[in-house]
Amino acid sequence: MVAGSVGNFIEWYEFGVYGYFATVIAARFFTPEGGGDAEALVRTYASFALAFFFRPVGAAVFGRLGDRIGRRPVLILVVSLMTVATASIGLLPTYATAGALAPWLLTLARVVQGLSAGGEFGGAVALMTEFAPPGRRGLYGAWQSFTVALGLLGGAGVAAVLAGALTEAQVHAWGWRVPFLLAVPLGVVALWLRLGLEETPSFRAVRGVGARELTTPETPAQETPVKETPAQGTPAHETRTPPRREVFGAVVLGAGRVMGWSAAGYTFLVVLPSYLQSTLGASFEQALAVTVLANLGFAVVILPAGLLSDRIGRRPVMLAGALLVVVLALPLLGVLQDPGTSAAVKGAAVCGAGAVVGLLAGPGPAMLAEMFPTTVRHTGLGLAYALSNAVFSGCAGLIITETVERTGNADVPAYYAAAACALSACALASLPGAARARGQAEAE
């Protein structure tokens, strides 16, 4: 579980750092002469969105590899790419040094991150859910979402330490580079953990039929090896290769089911700091404090939500999260916008917002994994998640910032998250009920 989710931690640590330092990055990379702060922030989020649109490409390429050669080698490759791309951002020249080349170099690094992140999620979720005991896919898959919270909190913690230890001028001059360079030791640890991974039982069973012979620990290598078959523990529906039309339909449906998670998660957990600074005039330290509280609420709920979904089904837990966002998004933003509201109330509000997103993120990975058989799982769930994130997460900062700038309406973030969750609730309604979900878990 640790080896599977560590790459996700690095990925979301970096994406969190990029979001938290968006205003600083905008000033260093996207502010040519005559450009305003809002214009630079929009360009920063455009680069952010572009990286997300390369996620589906990475999900397709690395997912195909993962379904053919195994989860382990692909997870080793993508975490290496992610580490190199993230660390390179900390070494890039700024606009003042390299001129128009600087934003292009930053965008190139973001593209490599997007490609690697696209392969990371599908492989890691496939790995953890395929190793999960019967009836525990929700809990095991929730660890992938839990490391999202840990990564965002880690990024916020590093940003807060730098903001407290350095002056604003130092942060703008060189301090912003430090969080990206910290990806190097993180990546080394992740690589070491993944080199010690074994391939999943489900993948070994499927690929072992007429294709690979495996030596079990009880069978010495010089004796006749054992051929692993579906009858040794893999359900028949797990071994089939569905037609492309069926896979495509499942990918689209899966993306619809997680679009609310993508939109609300990025709105409340990543975009919020820049929104508070650019729209509501909050300081960098205040924005980080709000973000930490939101991510704490998010982290606390994820694992219980995954465990609960193993008991009562994915549908009621995820539907509750989506509908709560629809109802509470606008009142939450009103609390943050009201200057008369106490800091304690605002803190409780953003913590609650994070907790609601946790109801979606906890069961989400297992829900996606269960939509695809082993033969296409890495590709299918990775594409569904990547497509949803490309449209509803990657574009969140760009859409919100640009719309607020053009309309002057400070409620745009709430409308964005609520609308996405309303549509997602329609797709989630088609999930199996609790009785059917329990029966499937017992059969597996």
CATH assignment of the domain containing 50: 1.20.1250.20
Cα distance between residue 276 and residue 284, in whole Å: 9
pLDDT(248) > 70? yes
Q: Does residue 337 fall inside a structural domain?
A: yes
| 237 vs 60, higher pLDDT | 60
- The arithmetic mean of pLDDT across residues 230-246, rounded, is 61
Q: Does residue 157 fall inside a structural domain?
A: yes
pLDDT(141) > 80? yes
Q: Which of 17-31, 74-88, 187-201, 340-354 has the lowest mean pLDDT?
A: 17-31
Q: Given this model, what pLDDT does residue 328 score?
A: 92
Which tokens hold the place of 72?
Answer: 């382990």
Strand partners for 214:
226
- Which residues, in sequence order, are CB contacts of 102 under 8 Å at separation 6+? 28, 29, 92, 93, 94, 95
Sign of CA dihedral 347, 140, 77, 80: positive
Confidence of residue 110 (pLDDT cuts 50, 70, 90): confident
Please choose, from the candidates 140, 163, 125, the residue with its C-alpha nearest in 3D space to the C-alpha of residue 258: 125
Determine phi and psi for 226, rounding to 5 degrees. -100, 130
pLDDT(21) > 50? yes
Cα distance between residue 385 and residue 380, in whole Å: 9
Q: What is the CA radius of gyration of the chain?
A: 22
Name the domain count of the chain: 1
- Amino acid identity for residue 348 in this structure: A
Using CB atoms within 10 A of its CB, is residue 43 exposed (0-12), middle (13-18) or buried (19+)? buried
Q: Given this model, what pLDDT does residue 48 score?
A: 66
Helices of type H across 389-443: 396-407, 412-428, 434-443
Q: Are 371 and 250 in contact (CB under 8 A)?
A: yes
- The arithmetic mean of pLDDT across residues 424-434, rounded, is 86
Q: Does residue 78 fall inside a structural domain?
A: yes
Please choose, from the candidates 429, 419, 415, the residue with its C-alpha nearest in 3D space to the C-alpha of residue 319: 429
Q: Given this model, what pLDDT does residue 225 score?
A: 36
Query: What is the distance between the terminal CA atoms of the chain, rounded to a whole angstrom?
Result: 20
- Which residues, in sequence order, are CB contacts of 305 under 8 Å at separation 6+? 142, 317, 321, 358, 359, 361, 362, 363
Q: Does residue 213 fall inside a structural domain?
A: no
pLDDT(234) > 70? no
Q: Given this model, what pLDDT does residue 165 score?
A: 87
pLDDT in tens, 359-404: 999 999 999 999 999 899 999 999 999 999 888 877 777 788 788 8
Please choose, from the candidates 17, 18, 2, 7, the residue with its C-alpha nearest in 3D space to the C-alpha of residue 186: 7
Query: Distances in Å between the alpha carbon of 232 and those of 129, 208, 216, 227, 444?
Result: 18, 11, 13, 10, 12
Q: Given this model, what pLDDT does residue 38 score?
A: 61
pLDDT(442) > 60? no
Q: Given this model, what pLDDT does residue 81 score?
A: 93
- The arithmetic mean of pLDDT across residues 75-97, rounded, is 91
Strand partners for 226:
214
Q: Does residue 216 fall inside a structural domain?
A: no
Q: Are 318 and 367 in contact (CB under 8 A)?
A: yes
Confidence of residue 238 (pLDDT cuts 50, 70, 90): low
Q: Given this model, what pLDDT does residue 27 score?
A: 78
Task: Please give the residue range of the domain that contains residue 142.
Answer: 2-208+228-443
Determine phi and psi for 214, rounding to 5 degrees. -115, 140
pLDDT in tens, 308-334: 999 999 999 999 999 999 999 999 888
Q: Are 74 and 4 in contact (CB under 8 A)?
A: no
Which tokens hold the place of 196?
Answer: 């010690």
Q: Given this model, what pLDDT does residue 274 score?
A: 67
Mean pLDDT of the chain: 82
- Which residues, in sequence order, are CB contacts of 152 under 8 Å at separation 6+? 12, 13, 15, 16, 269, 270, 291, 295, 298
pLDDT(206) > 50? yes
Q: Are 258 and 392 in contact (CB under 8 A)?
A: no
Determine phi and psi for 91, rounding to 5 degrees. -110, -5
Q: Does residue 370 fall inside a structural domain?
A: yes
- pTM of the predicted protein model: 0.81
- Which residues, in sequence order, are CB contacts of 342 under 8 Å at separation 6+? none
Q: Given this model, what pLDDT does residue 94 score?
A: 86
Confidence of residue 45 (pLDDT cuts 50, 70, 90): low
Q: Which of 46-50, 223-227, 324-328, 409-413 has the lowest mean pLDDT?
A: 223-227
Q: Which of 74-78, 187-191, 337-341, 357-361 has the lowest mean pLDDT?
A: 337-341
pLDDT in tens, 255-313: 999 999 999 988 888 777 667 776 677 776 777 777 788 889 999 999 999 999 999 99
Q: Are 151 and 20 in contact (CB under 8 A)?
A: no
- The arithmetic mean of pLDDT across residues 40-65, rounded, is 80
Q: Name the percent of the chain lying above pLDDT 70.
A: 84
Q: Are 257 and 317 in contact (CB under 8 A)?
A: no
Q: Does residue 222 fall inside a structural domain?
A: no
Confidence of residue 215 (pLDDT cuts 50, 70, 90): very low
pLDDT(208) > 70? no
Residue length, the chain?
A: 444
